[in-house]
Amino acid sequence: MEVVCSETEMKTNKNIFKRDFEIFDTINPVIFTLITISHPIAFYQLVLICKGDFDWGYFIYQGMVTIAIGLSITAGAHRLWSHRSYKANLPLRIILMTLNTLTFQGPLYTWARWHRQHHKFSDTDGDPHNARRGFFYSQIGWLMVYDHQKFLRNSAGQIESADLEADGVVMWQNRNYFWWGGFLLLIQIMLPLLLGLETCVFRVITAICFGTCLNLFAAGSVNSFAHMWGTRPYDKSIRPRQNAWVSLLAL
176 occurs within a structural domain: yes
pLDDT of residue 225: 58
Query: pLDDT confidence of 240, banded at 50, 70, 90?
Result: low
| Residues 116/160, Cβ–Cβ less than 8 Å | yes
26 occurs within a structural domain: no
122 occurs within a structural domain: yes
Number of separate domains in the chain: 1
pLDDT of residue 206: 98
pLDDT of residue 20: 81
Q: What are phi and psi of 231, to 5 degrees?
A: -100, 155
pLDDT of residue 123: 85
pLDDT of residue 62: 97
Kindly state the average pLDDT of the residues 92-102: 99
Read out DSSP for the chain? ------HHHHHHTGGGGGS--PPP-S--HHHHHHHHHHHHHHHHHHHHHHHT-S-HHHHHHHHHHHHHHHHIIIIIIIIIIIT--S---HHHHHHHHHHHHTTTS--HHHHHHHHHHHHHTTTSTTSTT-GGG-HHIIIIIHHHT--HHHHHHHHTTTS--HHHHT-HHHHHHHHSHHHHHHHHHHHHHHHHHHTTS-S-HHHHHHHHHHHHHHHHHHHHHHHTGGGTSSB-SS-TTSS--B-HHHHHHH-
240 occurs within a structural domain: no
227 occurs within a structural domain: no
pLDDT in tens, 221-233: 878 755 454 455 5
7 occurs within a structural domain: no
pLDDT in tens, 20-36: 899 999 999 999 999 99
| Residue 190 structural domain | 37-222
Query: pLDDT confidence of 216, banded at 50, 70, 90?
Result: very high
48 occurs within a structural domain: yes
